[in-house]
Amino acid sequence: MATDALAAPATAKRPPGKGRRRGRGTRANETVAGWLFVAPVIVILGLFLLLPILMALWVSLTDWNGQGSPFTGKVPFVGGDNYTRLFTEDGLDRRDFMTSLRNNVYYVAIVVPTQTVLALGLALIVNNRMLKGKGFFRTAFYFPSVTSSVAISVVFLFMFSSSGAVNNLLAMFGIDGPQWFADSRGVLHLLLGVFGLDTDNPPGALTGGGPLGLTWWDWLSGPSVAMMSIIALVVWTTSGTFMLMFLAALQNVPVVLDEASTLDGASRWQRFRHVTLPMIRPTMFLVLTLGLIGCWQVFDQVYVMSQGDPAKTTLTPAYLSYRTAFRDFDYGSGAAISFVLFLIIIVFTVLQRWLMAEREPAGARRGPWWRRRVRQGG
């Protein structure tokens, strides 16, 4: 896909590099130097990024089990079987894959809006000229983003343990906290239970069947309680980064605009809604789409905190592909899941670059939109 572009330069022969002394003219000299300068990066990215993708594409069409080399004639070629098993054949593979998609969709549906609103809220407060000590708070909000995902997962594992800090805090308000990482109940199911639905015996109309190997009841579970703690961790770590992006955008909103609307008698909410928000719309798009892209890549936290448990409710496509390949030694299926995930992420990335390009004034456009990198914050 997008990476194909690398193929041409990566495989192109480097110009003959020996006779590059002076006398050949600066142009030839620059050509040689140019290719020599980029050579290490091309070799490393080609060898460890492009080539492996092609290799994995091949493996996803085979039944390789990790023994020997996947590139010999002995490995059974199965064509698109690994892919069709994920979508059309009823079985454990499809059920697991669909479960992971469901989990990740709910995860996205909560993380993206929450982190965006939180990041914008924090940016608005930190951007307030009348408050002192904002620098400290900005640093504090951003700090979690730079720490190791594994190290911070350890901390949250402790905080969300059944007699941990979070449940202690909830107990102060008289709430009996759940057993976070052992609780596979879906949040939507719990909500339905609150409204009087008997969740132990869900309506037969929902449990009787459903699309793609999961029952309607399963599809409508919402994120599990265990997934909610991973969501809490991710929102907590990423909001700071997005806050900084909003902050940069807010600082580009001309003060006169705000003052003019104040003169016109606009309320604070009106000013935010009709002055600030339109001005930071490009950043809003950026934050939303980066959030979407990032959310489909959640892996470290799942690996450290839950390994897909309880009852597969924290399984995500990224983790499932890892598990299928490295635990079940079904590298073909694992690679196939990776490529489906790749496709999902690429769709969002293309959407993002297209949206951002649309928003740029016509005069600022150079080259086709997919080539331009996202500029943000102005």
Partner 1 sequence: MAVPTDRPAAAPTPARPRRDQGARALASRFVGYAVLVFFGLVFLYPFVIQIGNSFKTEPDAAANPLSPIPDPVSMAGFERIFEGTNFPLWLGNSLLVTVLVTLGRVFFDSLAGYALARLRFRGRGGLFAAIIAVMAVPGVVLLIPKFLVLNQLGIYDSYAGLVVPLLADAAGVFIMKQFFESIPVSVEEAARIDGASVFRTFWSVVLPMAKPALITLTILSFQGSWNEFPHSLVSVQNPDLFTLPRGLADLVSGSLGKGNQYPLKLGAALLATIPVAVLFVIFQRYFVRDANDGADKG
Q: Which of 186, 222, 240, 308 binds partner 1 (CB under 8 A)?
A: 240
Closer CB to partner 1, residue 1 or residue 191?
A: 1
Q: Which of 154, 175, 191, 347 binds partner 1 (CB under 8 A)?
A: 154
Tell me if 205 contacts partner 1 by CB under 8 A: no
Closer CB to partner 1, residue 192 or residue 288?
A: 288
Stretch that binds partner 1, among 78-86, 159-167, 195-203, 219-227 (CB under 8 A): 159-167
Minimum separation from the CB atom of position 185 to partner 1 (A): 23
3-state per-residue secondary structure call for the chain: CHHHHHHHHHHCCCCCCCCCCCCCCHHHHHHHHHHHHHHHHHHHHHHHHHHHHHHHHHHCCECCCCCCCCCCCCCCECCCHHHHHHHCCCCHHHHHHHHHHHHHHHHHHHHHHHHHHHHHHHHHHHCCCCCCCHHHHHHHHHHHHHCCHHHHHHHHHHHCCCCCHHHHHHHHCCCCCCCHHHCCCEHHHHHHHHCCCCCCCCCHHHHCCCHHHCCHHHHCCCCEHHHHHHHHHHHHHHHHHHHHHHHHHHCCCCHHHHHHHHHCCCCHHHHHHHHHHHHCHHHHHHHHHHHHHHHCCCCHHHHHHCCCCCCCCCCCHHHHHHHHHHCCCCHHHHHHHHHHHHHHHHHHHHHHHHHHHHHCCHHHCCCCCCCCCCCCCC
Stretch that binds partner 1, among 80-88, 182-190, 214-222, 247-255 (CB under 8 A): 247-255
Tell me if 49 contacts partner 1 by CB under 8 A: yes
Q: Which of 108, 245, 315, 357 binds partner 1 (CB under 8 A)?
A: 245
Tell me if 65 contacts partner 1 by CB under 8 A: no
Minimum separation from the CB atom of position 222 to partner 1 (A): 23
Minimum separation from the CB atom of position 365 to partner 1 (A): 15
Minimum separation from the CB atom of position 159 to partner 1 (A): 6
Q: Which of 76, 80, 113, 137 binds partner 1 (CB under 8 A)?
A: 137
Q: Which of 226, 227, 335, 357 binds partner 1 (CB under 8 A)?
A: 335
Stretch that binds partner 1, among 173-181, 200-208, 215-223, 337-345 (CB under 8 A): 337-345
